[in-house]
Amino acid sequence: MKAQSSNLIALYDKYILGNYPEAPFSLVKGQGSKVWDDTGKEYLDFGTGIAVNGLGHCHPYWVKRIQEQATKLIHCSNLYRFPQVAQLAEKLAKYTAPGKFFFCNSGAEANEALIKLARLYGTCKAGEEGKSYKIIGAENAFHGRTFGGMSATPLEKIQKGFRPLLDGFTFGKINNLESFASRIDDRTVAIYLEPTQGESGVLPCTSEFLQGIRNLCDEHKLLLMLDEVQTGVGRTGRFFGYENAGIIPDAIAMAKGLGGGFPIGAIWISDKFSDLFTPGTHGSTYGGNPLACTAAISVIEVMEKENLLARVAEKGNKLKTSLSKLADKYPQHITEIRGQGYLLGIGMKKDPTDFISSLFEKGLITVPAGANTVRIYPPFNVSDIEIQSALEIIEQTLDGLK
Ligand SMILES: Cc1ncc(COP(=O)(O)O)c(C=O)c1O
Go through the domains of the chain in sequence order and give each one's CATH number.
6-58+309-399 (3.90.1150.10), 73-305 (3.40.640.10)
Mutate to test the pocket of ligand 1, among 19, 106, 142, 151 (most ligand atoms within 8 A of CB): 142
pLDDT of residue 2: 52
Question: By C-alpha distance, which of 46, 36, 32 is closest to 367?
Answer: 46
Give the containing element (helix H, strand E) for 57.
Answer: none
Question: Over pLDDT 90: what percentage of the chain?
Answer: 98
320 lines ligand 1 (CB under 6 A): no
The length of the chain in residues reads 402
- The 10s digit of each residue's pLDDT in 152-200 is 999 999 999 999 999 999 999 999 999 999 999 999 999 999 999 999 9
Q: How far is the CA of 329 from the centre of ligand 1 (A)?
A: 34
What whole-number distance in Å separates Cα of residue 214 and Cα of residue 124?
21
- The 10s digit of each residue's pLDDT in 257-286 is 999 999 999 999 999 999 999 999 999 999
pLDDT of residue 6: 85
**Nearest-atom index, ligand 1, CA of 198:** 16
69 lines ligand 1 (CB under 6 A): no
- The 10s digit of each residue's pLDDT in 188-207 is 999 999 999 999 999 999 99
Tell me the average pLDDT of the chain: 97
Contact 218, 191 (CB under 8 A): no
Which residue's CA lies nearest to atom 7 of ligand 1?
Answer: 107
112 lines ligand 1 (CB under 6 A): no
- The 10s digit of each residue's pLDDT in 358-397 is 999 999 999 999 999 999 999 999 999 999 999 999 999 9
pLDDT tops 60 at residue 1: no
What whole-number distance in Å separates Cα of residue 276 and Cα of residue 256?
26
- The average pLDDT across 234-263 equals 98
105 lines ligand 1 (CB under 6 A): no
Task: Report in angstroms the alpha-carbon separations of 58 from 48, 135, 265.
Answer: 12, 39, 20
228 lines ligand 1 (CB under 6 A): no
- The 10s digit of each residue's pLDDT in 19-75 is 999 999 999 999 999 999 999 999 999 999 999 999 999 999 999 999 999 999 999
pLDDT of residue 402: 83
Q: How far is the CA of 248 from the centre of ligand 1 (A)?
A: 21
What whole-number distance in Å separates Cα of residue 46 and Cα of residue 156?
28
Mutate to test the pocket of ligand 1, among 197, 203, 227, 229 (most ligand atoms within 8 A of CB): 229
Give the containing element (helix H, strand E) for 270.
Answer: strand 265-270
Q: How far is the CA of 259 from the centre of ligand 1 (A)?
A: 14
Which residue's CA lies nearest to atom 9 of ligand 1?
Answer: 107
- The 10s digit of each residue's pLDDT in 299-328 is 999 999 999 999 999 999 999 999 999 999
Contact 172, 136 (CB under 8 A): yes
**Nearest-atom index, ligand 1, CA of 253:** 3
Q: How far is the CA of 69 from the centre of ligand 1 (A)?
A: 27
For 224, the 3-state DSSP assignment is strand
pLDDT of residue 3: 59
pLDDT of residue 4: 64
What whole-number distance in Å separates Cα of residue 26 and Cα of residue 360?
12
Mutate to test the pocket of ligand 1, among 155, 196, 228, 230 (most ligand atoms within 8 A of CB): 230
199 lines ligand 1 (CB under 6 A): yes
* Sequence-separated (6 or more) residues with CB below 8 Å from residue 220: 184, 188
**Nearest-atom index, ligand 1, CA of 50:** 14
- The 10s digit of each residue's pLDDT in 322-347 is 999 999 999 999 999 999 999 999 99
From first CA to last CA, the distance across the chain in angstroms is 21
